[in-house]
A and B are shown apart, each in its own frame.
Chain A
Amino acid sequence: MTEVHLPPVTEPALEEIERRADEAGVDYEVQLESLNQWQLAWRKFRKHRLALVGLGILIVLIVAAILGPILSPFVFNQIPKPDKAVYAGRPPSLAHLFGETGGLQRDVLQLVVNGARTSLVIGFTSMGIGVLIGTIVGSVAGYLGGFVDNVLMRIVDVMLSLPLLFVILVASKFFGNGNVLLIIVIFGLLSWMGIARLVRSLFLSIREREFVEAAKAVGVRDRRIIFRHILPNAVSPIVVSASLIVAGNIITEAFVSFLGFGVNPIYPTWGNVLSNALTFIPVGNWWWPFFPGLAIIMTVLAVNFIGDGLRDALDPRSRA
C-alpha cells in the first residue's frame, strides 16, 4: 500500500493537492479540519428553524433582563405617586409601552423586565443545581450498581412520591420566606430525580461498552472513567432534559409566586406580578396580567423549542 504523506490541509490548498495526487496516480486522503461533537451539533442546530427562533427569543429576554433594569427610567422599588383619577392604571402608551399597573401605577414593562431577571435566574440556576445533583447521583448509581445503586434509586423513588408542589409551598413559606436564593436551592433540590434516573440508565448501557473496558485496561481510575470517559458520552440527553427542567421550573416559580408562597413581592417576578394584577382584571386592566403572562409563555416555548433542536442536533444518528 502506498501512502502519501500530506501536510495539514486548508481549503485553498485542496485543489492543488487533488491535482498533484491525480498526476502522481496515487490514492490520497484529504480531510478538512475535523469537527468536534459541538461543532457538528451547532451545524445541525442551525438547520432547526424553530430552535433558532427559540434561541432568538431567549437571547432577547436575557439581554432585556440584564440591560432592561439599567436602561429603564423607572425603578421597581420607587413607587410613582398614585393618581386617583386612573385607579385602574393607564393602557400602553409611548411613555409606558406595556402600560401602567392599577393602584400604585408602576410601569409594567419595568416589572416584566425585572421579573425576567428573577424568573430566568431561578429557572436556570435551579436547573444547574438539579442537573449537578442528578448527574452525580445517577452516574454513581449507574456505574457502581449493586447496593449503592439500590439505595440511591430508592431515595429517588421516595423523593418522587412526595407531593412536590406542597413540599415546595411549605418549604418556601417556612424556610424561604421570599428569599430568592432559598427558592433556587429548594427548586434545585427538588428537580434532580428525573435527571438521576436518566443518567443512571445511560450509564448502565455505556459502562458495558468496550471503550470503558479499554480504559480500565490501561489503568484509568473509576472516578476518571465516570466523569471523563462515560459522562461526555451521556451529555446530549442530559442537555435536552435540562432544557425542559428550565421551562418546568420557570412555570413552577410563577405558580408558587402567584399563590403568594414564592419570592417576596417586593422583588417582581412574573408570577407575583400576575398575582398582583388579579384584582384589577375586573376594572378592565388587561395589560397588567397580559405582558408577564406572555413573557412566561414565550420563555417556556423558547426553551422547549431549543430543547427540541438540541435533541436533533445532539443525536448522532440524525444527519444534518
Chain B
Amino acid sequence: MTATAERHALGAPPPDDILLDVRNLRTVFHVMDGDVPAVDGVSFQLRPGRSIGIVGESGSGKSVTALTIMRLLDIPPAEVMPGSEIWFDGTELLRMPMDAMRKIRGNDIAMIFQEPLTSLNPVFTIGGQIAEQVELHLKVKKKEAWERAIESLKLVGIPSPERRAKQYPHEMSGGMRQRVMIAMALSCEPKLLIADEPTTALDVTIQAQILELLKTIQDRTDSALLLITHDLGVIAEMVEDVVVMYSGQVVETGTVDQVLLEPRAPYTMGLIESIPTVDKRGGRLSVIKGTVPSPFNLPPACRFEPRCPYAWDHCRKVVPDLFQTDHPNQLARCHLYTAAGVGRREQALEAHAQAMTVGRDLGGQR
C-alpha cells in the first residue's frame, strides 16, 4: 500500500467468523464553513449473532457510522475518505455498486430508526409497507408477502395482526409503531440489525418492552445487533461489547462489563461518574466540565484533553492511539496507558474509584 496511491489498495478480507469488520472508517462532511470529520478512523468488528453497542453523546459520530455502513449518506456533501473499509459477510460494502447494495439493504442488513412516528409512510397500511420489502427482496407473490408481513407482526407481539396490518400508521401508538418497525426489519431475516437509538422517542415503560422484544428476537433469529445509543443503561441491558465514541473517534472499546464497571478512558470514567446512584450521597453530582469541541477547532492532540481532569502537557503534544489497558481486549485512547503515563495512571484510577463512591468533592460547595 503506497501513500500516494489514489485508490487505496483493499486489505485482506476478514476471517469467516467476522460478520462486520469496519476498518479505519473516515466520513467527512464538506459544508460551507469547511470540512467536518464526523467519523474519524473508527474500527470495530462484530461476529455473527453477537451484539455490539456504540455509545457517545450527540455529534460524536455514532449515527453517521451507521449511515455510512448502510451507505445512506448523500455524497456530496458527505465523503467517505479513501482508506476506509467496511467488510460485511466477506464483501466490501463501500466499493459495491449501488444496485448490489440495494439488495443487501433490508435483506442482509436491516435498520431500525429512532423515530417510529415518522419512519413509517403515512399513506400506506403498515402491512403493505412490510409486504413491499418482502416482495422486493424475497421475490415472492403479493399474497405470500402479505402473509409473511402478518407473521412478522405476530412475532413482535402485535395483537390481532390481520386487522392491524390493514391499519395506517396514525392509528397506532408510538410503541406499536416501533414494534412495526422491528417487524419490518425482521421480515427478511437479516444477518445484521442496526438499531439507531430505537427507544429514544418512547417513554420508559415502552422502552423496556421494546428492548426486551429486540433482545428475544435477536436471540431467536440469530442475527447480529449493532445498537447505537447515548443511554448507558440500554447498553448494559442489551449488548456484549461496547465502543465508546467521542468527537468522531473511538475512545474506548471492551466488553460491556469492562467498560461500564472498570472504564479506562477518562471520558468514559466521567460518563459513568455522572450517573446518579443511591450510594453517592452528600457530594454534588459529577459532571464532565466543558463542551464537546467544535469540529472546526479541534484540540491539537487528544480531543478530550481540554475537559480531562488527568491531562498533562504530553496530551497537548502527542496524538494518542488506542492503547492496551490493564485488561485484555480493552483499549483506551489515552496516554495514561503508555510509558509516559506510569504513575499518573494509578492516581487517575484512584480518583475515579473515589468519585464512584462519594461523588466528586467540589470543595465546600455542599
Contacts and interface: CB of A to CB of B under 8 A. Distances in A.
A151 B256 CA distance: 53
B349 to A, nearest CB: 42
B105 A216 contact: yes
Given A6-B159, A6-B160, A8-B162, A219 B121 contact: no
B111 interface: yes
Nearest to A234: B123
Contacts of B110: 217-218
Interface in A7-43: 7-9, 29, 31, 34, 36-37
Contacts of A7: 160
Given A1-B209, A217-B106, A218-B110, 16 more contacts: A6-B159, A34-B168, A37-B123, A210-B113, A211-B118, A214-B113, A217-B72, A217-B111, A218-B106, A218-B132, A218-B133, A219-B107, A219-B133, A228-B132, A232-B124, A316-B122
Nearest to A228: B132
13 contacts: A3-B159, A4-B159, A34-B166, A36-B168, A210-B119, A211-B118, A211-B121, A213-B119, A214-B113, A214-B120, A218-B105, A220-B102, A316-B122
Contacts of A173: none
A209 B118 contact: yes
Contact of A210 (B102, B118, B124): B118
Interface string B127-144: 000001100110000000
Binding site of A, secondary structure by majority: helix, strand, loop or mixed?
loop
Contacts of B103: 219
A177 interface: no
Interface size class of B (residues with CB under 8 A): 35 or more
B70 interface: yes
A211 B115 CA distance: 9
Contacts of B118: 209-211
Contacts of B36: none
A221 B106 contact: no
B123 A232 contact: yes
Contacts of A44: none
Interface in B202-223: 209
Contact of A216 (B72, B120, B157, B171): B72
Interface in A158-214: 209-211, 213-214
Interface of A: 1, 3-9, 29, 31, 34, 36-37, 209-211, 213-221, 228-229, 232-233, 316
Nearest to A4: B159
A138 to B, nearest CB: 18
Interface of B: 70, 72, 101-107, 110-111, 113, 115, 118-125, 132-133, 136-137, 157, 159-160, 162-163, 166-168, 171, 181, 184, 209
B94 to A, nearest CB: 17
B101 to A, nearest CB: 8
Given A216-B105, A218-B136, A5 B163 contact: no
A221 B106 CA distance: 12
A220 B128 CA distance: 14
Nearest to B158: A3
Interface centre among A8, A37, A219 (most CB of B within 10 A): A219
Contacts of B72: 213, 216-217
A31 B121 contact: no
A7 B70 CA distance: 40
A219 B133 CA distance: 8
Contacts of A218: 105-106, 110, 132-133, 136-137, 184
A24 B120 CA distance: 34
A219 B105 contact: yes
Contact of A34 (B123, B137, B171): B171
A97 B52 CA distance: 83
Contacts of A8: 160, 162-163
Contacts of B160: 5-8
A139 to B, nearest CB: 15
Given A217-B70, A218-B184, A219-B106, A211 B120 contact: yes
A6 B133 CA distance: 27
Contacts of A6: 159-160
B102 A233 contact: no
CB-CB nearest 10 A-B residue pairs? A218-B106, A219-B105, A219-B102, A210-B118, A219-B106, A232-B123, A214-B119, A217-B111, A211-B121, A218-B133
Contact of A213 (B113, B133, B166): B113
Contacts of A5: 159-160
A215 B124 CA distance: 12
A232 B121 CA distance: 10
B121 A233 contact: yes
